[in-house]
Amino acid sequence: MEHIVEVAEGVSLWVEARGPEHAPAVLLIMGSTASGLFWPDALVESLSQHYRVIRYDHRDTGASTWAFDRVPYSAPRMAEDALAILDALGIAAAHVVGLSLGGLLAQWLMVEHPARLLSATVIGAPALDGAPERADLASRASIDPGLLEFWSHMFDPRDLDAQVEWRVENWRRLNGQVLAFDAEEFRVLERRVIAHAGRHDTSTAHARVDPSGLRRGAELTQVSVPTLVIAAPEDPTHSVSNARFLAETLPRSTLVTLDGMGHAIPRAIVPGLAAALLRHFESTTSQAR
């Protein structure tokens, strides 16, 4: 079921909820500039057999309001949008799963609003800035320089076909070298996302969002939320050492490595990811009984 949730005056978010209405909720938070549709349908379908699964478009993505110049916002405000969605759907607390920027927003929620999280899962994100340093583990490994150079052209104007192909190439680079990359899978997905948004450009809003409010890493050592940290060995944006650092910083964490995974969720990785998430949700539910 689709919903439109107003999170500020003149700002509404596209939200989709699947699964039993009274089942425990799972809130999926996507990364920067990415529509919620990038959470694969197959993953949502698998989780929604037992949970009420919610995915949504951030501000300035997908079918949500694009209005950063008129209504600017900070990174913590993006995290608060997630809570506004839960409030609108009458959900007191949820299992929160964040990818990339979504993983940072999930950590901020763990620090600021722990009672709203049944559990957390962080994928492809480092610890929040300010986490206690360790001599044996880096908190933030460098992003591949070639990828950074490629990203410097993210907002270049392109026609529809060229935009689709640029995005497919981006997913190829994020996919890593182990799992075979199916360009057509992501080409179809990108065309679906563009049709969903009604436009093919990429907003610069998330590149201009003030991230300073996310500097809450020093508080991660006190977080009580049970957290799954997923290490993706093929991720060119955040290395396995980042995942290890985060897992060792959080008091109630479990580290799981998904072999072959990069910074994308191709069809091939969905079964393993779904299984890891379901195990985590069930284990946290069992501990709470």
Residues marked as catalytic: 100, 235, 263
Task: Tell me the sheet residues that pair with 29.
Answer: 98
CB neighbour burial string for 112-136, b if at least 16 within 10 angstroms, e if fewer: ebeebbbbbbbbbbbbbeebeeeee
Locate all alpha helices (DSSP H) within 113-216, ordered by sequence.
145-151, 160-175, 183-197, 205-208
Angstrom distances, CA of residue 286 to CA of 194, 248, 283: 41, 23, 5
Angstrom distances, CA of residue 210 to CA of 13, 81, 118, 142, 182: 20, 15, 28, 21, 35
Angstrom distances, CA of residue 231 to CA of 20, 27, 158, 255, 261: 30, 20, 34, 7, 8
Q: CA-CA distance, 80 to 27, in Å (whole number)? A: 13
The secondary structure of the chain in percent helix, strand, coil, rounded to multiples of 5, reads 40, 15, 40
Q: CA-CA distance, 77 to 85, in Å (whole number)? A: 13
* Terminal alpha carbon distance of the chain: 30
